[in-house]
Amino acid sequence: MDDHLPRPLIKNIALFGDASVKSDSPLYKQAFDVAKLVASEGYTIVNGGGPGVMDAATHGAEEVGGETLTVTFYPENAPGFEGRYVGNIPDREIVTTNYIDRMFKLLEHADMFIIFKGGSGTMSEFGTAWVLAKLYYGHHKPFILYGRFWRDIINALKSNLNLDRAELDVFEIVERKEDIMPTIHKFEHRLSEIDHAHCKVCKEKAFMT
């Protein structure tokens, strides 16, 4: 990269979503295609190393020679957690000791997130990414909610919760893969206008840009 250009704020992008979907499902294909597109633009794809959307993310990136990173946890006493999927083989793997550590390492090692349809695990990742983005707003890690169904969810939350402007400014809902890169570039532009070098509240850099 040209030394005179600013350091990219978004380099690693994590994909979150349903671990139970099969490789022939529309959701798997969506995640595969999005990961392939994002990796083709030079971003590293990060995921939790499991099956479903996570597997799609790794394979989509590999299709175009993209770099992949997984953050995993090998459960012994958590039968409800899928663990690492043997078919999800990344370039690099970070092994953690429990589910919570895994989730926070995923949030730490990505600069933004793309969140697909999933279950309670995906919702925990979504909620944690959201609260951290509000907490460090301005130096936050943004995220994309992928799929039209998110509009109903966000509208329900707006109608029933007390959400402020910052909470609604840290994400975008995207319905087509063609809109993914313009949205990433928009986030990058917004964040590039902020002076991160002289941030007075940047003590938890792991969760900030």
Sheet bearing 112-115, strands edge to edge: 92-96, 68-73, 44-47, 12-16, 112-115, 143-146, 171-174
Compute CA 202 distance to the chain's CA centroid, rounded to the nearest angstrom: 21
How far is residue 179's CA from residue 190's CA, in Å, rounded to a whole number? 17
Instruction: Give the per-residue pLDDT at 58.
Output: 98
CATH 3.40.50.620 is the classification of domain 12-207:
no
Query: Do the beta carbons of residue 173 and residue 145 sit within 8 Å?
Result: yes
Instruction: Give the per-residue pLDDT at 3.
Output: 43
For residue 201, count other CB atoms closer than 10 A to its CB: 11
How far is residue 98's CA from residue 76's CA, in Å, rounded to a whole number? 10
* Segments making up each domain of the chain, as ranges: 12-207
- Which residue numbers in the chain have pLDDT < 70? 1-7, 77-83, 196-209
Instruction: Give the per-residue pLDDT at 66.
Output: 98
What digits encode the pLDDT tens for the residues 48-93?
999 999 999 999 999 999 999 999 988 776 555 566 778 899 999 9
Q: Of 3, 18, 7, nearest to 118 (Cα)?
A: 18
